[in-house]
Amino acid sequence: MAGNPDERDERIALLLDYENLAIGAREGLGVSPFDLTPVADALAVRGRVVARRAYADWSSFDEDRRLLARAQVELIDIPQRLGGSRKNAADIKMAVDAIEIAYERSWVTTFAIGTGDSDFTPLVHKLRELDKRVIGIGVASSTSRLLPPACDEFLYYDRLLEAAAPPPEPAPESGAPAAVAGSDAETAATTPDDDEAVGRLVTRTLSGLARQGDGAVLASRLKRAILRQDPTFDEAEHGFRGFGELLRHLQDQRIVELSTGLAAGDPEVSFPENEPAEDDAFRLLAQTVGDLARGGSVPLSGLKDQVRKRRPGFSEKTYGFASFLSFAKAARARGVVRMAWDESAGDWRLQPA
């Protein structure tokens, strides 16, 4: 283990009570099929996922099964149509596998248990007795109140969806002329988007690592976390000779800040404090809210689209915020806007400060 650059990273076993998650996401969030990507990204900044298993009667989840297979998840099939005695078979199998992994694979330091079912609370307690860290994952509307307090950390899928990276821009219509390879038009069309995309990837990952609060984020650790999210990532594809050069480029843009680390060539990476660009973003939000409110208030839903109409390409992740809601709350904390929860509408409403 000595000398292994990943030796301080958590080694995570991800076990999913898939029926609980899929039904909770469909009924509570209108998400179907269940998208594992936000979960995988959240775990990638916490450590290496060394095992991925999902438990269900897969005859009921044909489309989900294909998506999970592409995500390298081992599918454990527990048919539920063989009688009433099979009702909890998937839960039992998942619990047995977790205990087996805990005893036989000592290198696994963390268990990510995807479920909202309180029946798994005794399993969580046992894993913690065995000195394993437990991360729970569930949909807020279908998660028992008993489960989150039992875990070391609990990730609500709802929040992970809010913080997920924006979907890629749609491809040009088939009738649109294609750019000629190597032409100025192609360069102008792709370079800014690529630059923005790699900036979002770095800031999103850095934000996740910083929230862990377990010390300074070194460039080497940041690079490993990025590779866990996207194993094909290569800074050379974005025009940089090394990861350090990419970070210096982002520092020149005032997106990140570099300082001397413990080892030469491995600087600490953080977000700039009291950054003028961040203040400008908060002013943009305040102006947008002021223009739309006209003496009243505006809902948070749809507000990001209004901000983007004024500044195309705006992303809160550029400033280190996981979601637009987090950005808005930061603006409230700075006295830029006022926010209040509207129970009847089920949404936040914002007013000028």
179 falls within a domain: no
Residue 323 has a pLDDT of 79
231 and 299 within one domain: no
282 and 254 within one domain: no
Residue 301 has a pLDDT of 87
- Please tell me the total count of domains within the chain: 3
Rounded distance between C-alpha atoms, residue 60 and residue 37, angstroms: 21
Beta-ladder partners of 75: 54
Residue 161 has a pLDDT of 83
171 falls within a domain: no
317 falls within a domain: yes
28 and 76 within one domain: yes
Q: Which helix (H) or strand (E) segment is 308 a member of?
A: helix 303-310
Tokens 């000398």 correspond to: 3
222 falls within a domain: yes
CATH number at residue 235: 3.30.420
29 falls within a domain: yes
b/e map of 79-106 (b: 16 or more CB within 10 Å)?
A: ebeeeeeeeeebbebbbebbeebbeeee
Q: Which of 212, 245, 270 is the last residue of a domain?
A: 270
137 and 58 within one domain: yes
290 and 253 within one domain: no
342 and 197 within one domain: no
139 falls within a domain: yes
81 falls within a domain: yes
Which stretches of the chain score pLDDT less than 50? 1-3, 5, 85, 167-192
Residue 186 has a pLDDT of 39
Beta-ladder partners of 76: 55
Domain of residue 317: give its range.
276-352
346 and 201 within one domain: no
Residue 191 has a pLDDT of 47
Q: Which of 270, 303, 335 is the last residue of a domain?
A: 270
265 and 288 within one domain: no
290 and 228 within one domain: no
Contact indicator for 307, 314 with CB cutoff of 8 Å = yes
- Whole-Å CA distances, 228 to 65, 72, 224, 256, 334: 22, 13, 6, 20, 34
Residue 199 has a pLDDT of 82
- Whole-Å CA distances, 158 to 25, 39, 168, 235, 319: 8, 10, 20, 31, 22
Cis peptide before 33 (omega within 30 of 0): yes
CATH number at residue 144: 3.40.50.1010
Rounded distance between C-alpha atoms, residue 137 and residue 16, angstroms: 9
Rounded distance between C-alpha atoms, residue 197 and residue 165, angstroms: 10
69 falls within a domain: yes
Cα angle, residue 229 at apex, residues 278 and 213 outer, rounded to 5° = 55
pLDDT digits (tens, 9 = 90+) for 115-138: 999 999 999 999 999 999 999 999
280 and 259 within one domain: no
Token digits of residue 93: 């199998």
316 and 295 within one domain: yes
Contact indicator for 61, 26 with CB cutoff of 8 Å = no
Residue 188 has a pLDDT of 37
All residues at 6 or more sequence positions from 83 whose CB lies less than 8 Å from its CB, including other chains: none
Residue 24, phi then psi, degrees to nearest 5: -65, -40
pLDDT digits (tens, 9 = 90+) for 59-93: 888 889 999 998 999 999 988 765 554 558 889 99
Residue 30, phi then psi, degrees to nearest 5: 70, 25
Burial class (CB in 10 A: 0-12, 13-18, 19+), 12: buried
